[in-house]
Structure 1
Amino acid sequence: MNSSVSGHPARLDPIPGILEILDRAAMTGTNKLGLLLTLIDLAPALEGDAPSVTQTRIAKRYLEIHWEHARPYPYGGRTVTLRQSSARKRRGDGTVADDTTAMQEIHGLRELLECGDRGDLREKPLEIVERRLDGTDLQSEWNEAFETALAKVRANLLRNPVRLLQRLPGDPEPFLYDVTSDNSALTFLPGVAQSLTRFAGVLRPLIEFRFAQAVMRINRESLQLPINDVYSHLFGRDRVMPSPKMREGLVEIQRGRCIFTNVRLSKTGGSLDHVVPWSRARLSQVENFVMTTLSVNSSKSDSLPAPAAMERWFQHIDTNSGELQECADEHGWLTDFDSVRRVALHIYRALDASTGVWDFEHGIQPLGVDGKRAVLGLLSSPASST
């Protein structure tokens, strides 16, 4: 923590500040935790030392994070809905809202899909839902309902977590962001986006676990929930993974071999790896998926690739970009290598040269100054992604 000067409140450094929020901030629901996750997810995609991000972009990412939280939770032979707020607020029509604005709006959007005979999409990530509704009879109604939900969530975020997130005992100065004068955006304080990017792999699981604990507390009057099951229900990665059929397609694109080791894969026996780890960034584009052996995936785990591994990934994208696009189109999946590349660029920029990265021959090794320079050179060239 920085010391106060001339009687003014101290300004916390961003990472200790977030830990203070997790430890000391007053919460009746998950809004503040959801905002923290949103900021961590957005930080690697932002340019500049003190970037701004619109309230609309924040609200959209906030909805994407919470979308799958509305899935029915299996409990005692039935399914239940997990609430995310212990506060009950009376609406203008006399009814009582017993959940956060985001969750209420998400439940409404899920009902729209059910009524429009697209209930199968309720279990897909929100980005996939939007892609698969493109050009359908339901698209116009969905777009209108989604924009209404987005506006309500944006307004609610500004009223509560955006304005209250940084209010802590001792009344420190803002340590993550300032709100623009017209309330349309947040401006990260200098260096904050880089700090969030650098420490995302540590911060995100802490925040998610605190989130799961909050959901358990909010629902404990009627439900006795095991923490591991709640955490998995809210944040498990299985729900945003490609189908077995799509994985078979990825194996075929790789000519049946691991792109890192050239070891032959069985058509259905490969292990799907996020090249830029899921713990670092929530990147579900097809270009961030490769099929490896189970031993390679276990060895790499949540580590970033070393320079040689990054080069092989780029070669894979260069060689197979057309087939990857076709695979994504066939399965209604996301595709955008340039977005993946730019996020990876910001992550590596924020790394210390001593950070361990995964090398397919030697395991985890320090990135090193020369290694960092090599990776940044590769990621800085959009031409390499064509």
Structure 2
Amino acid sequence: MTAFSLEPAQLAWCAELRALAAERLRPLAEKGEPGRVNRALLAELGALGLLPRLFTSGALELCLMRESLAHACTEAETALALQGLGAHPVHAHGTDAQRAHWLPRVAAGTAVAAFALTEPAAGSDAAALSLTAAPATPGGPDRAHGPDGWRLSGEKCWISHAPEADFYTVFARTAPGAGARGVTAFLVPADRPGLTGTALDMLSPHPIGALAFDAVPVTADDVLGEVDRGFRVAMDTLNLFRPSVGAFAVGMAQAALDATLGHTARRDAFGGKLRDLQSVAHQVAEMALRTESARLMVYAAATAYDEGAPDVPRRSAMAKLLATETAQYVVDRAVQLHGARALQRGHLLEHLYREVRAPRIYEGASEVQRSIIAKELYKNLEDR
């Protein structure tokens, strides 16, 4: 199989996922409360066997899941993706004890995971983290946590699933002044003393919040990967999930395109159908062209990740950048061609218009993706 064609079994699976999303997941999503974790939806994702696949799938399969779910139920797609984002560091870098305790519950949808990287002053510049992990005083009040423990102090902001998650993958500075080389990843249960959170009222319908760490105790048993090597954990996770953010965007773009095809084929205007107007037909063609181009780049990046290619960072950045910018364009064009009806609360395109904006910012804004691409290009030039 190449990166540019899917096997019949894969195509059939995608069709099955779209049907499941429409018939079983969307009704649960509609019953959820905006800005709150929908635990019934998570439980159904677990029962359908989709959450367990987060830990057995490659990047391409993850992309197919996210694209297919997004086409019919963006809430289900986001719930699945956030579980994967928060738990992947545990799966890939955790200890046997960490994996045994948390991953079965994540897969069942009974434990909510979150990825806590962003801070008020460290969003796109992830190496500028200031949440500190200060060594615990031997023999002091943290003695129960071991002589090699730390206390986390600071803030995290715009964290999806906060403050309702059951555990957080937290990135903190263990070596002051060391940039990306002085960050450590910790698995922090939500009930750890000193950890509090508040919900933020955001455009996105899924929960997003801020976390405050007031000398939160952690030990060597909570470390994910190696001390001072947490940035690798973060980048490994983002390299996997950035193409799948693109897949999410492609799913939304395809949903907007499908809605536009149906609308312009039925809508009477100026003595014919909207599709008969060359200006409309050309816009629809452009929407389709960009959507398919983004899809192919996402599949190519995911395949490169699965094959262990050396250019994964560049490909991942390109896939996320192209797909998220494309989805913004396609959804905006779809709204324009639908007219005022698309702006009514409850319309598919009104929903997509709110959903499509955030992916251009999270997991590295579009400007960051361009910087990554340029850096990798010049790096390759210097290596020749």
Question: TM-score interval w.r.t. the shorter chain?
Answer: under 0.3
TM-score (norm 1): 0.27
Greater share of helix: 2
Greater share of strand: 2
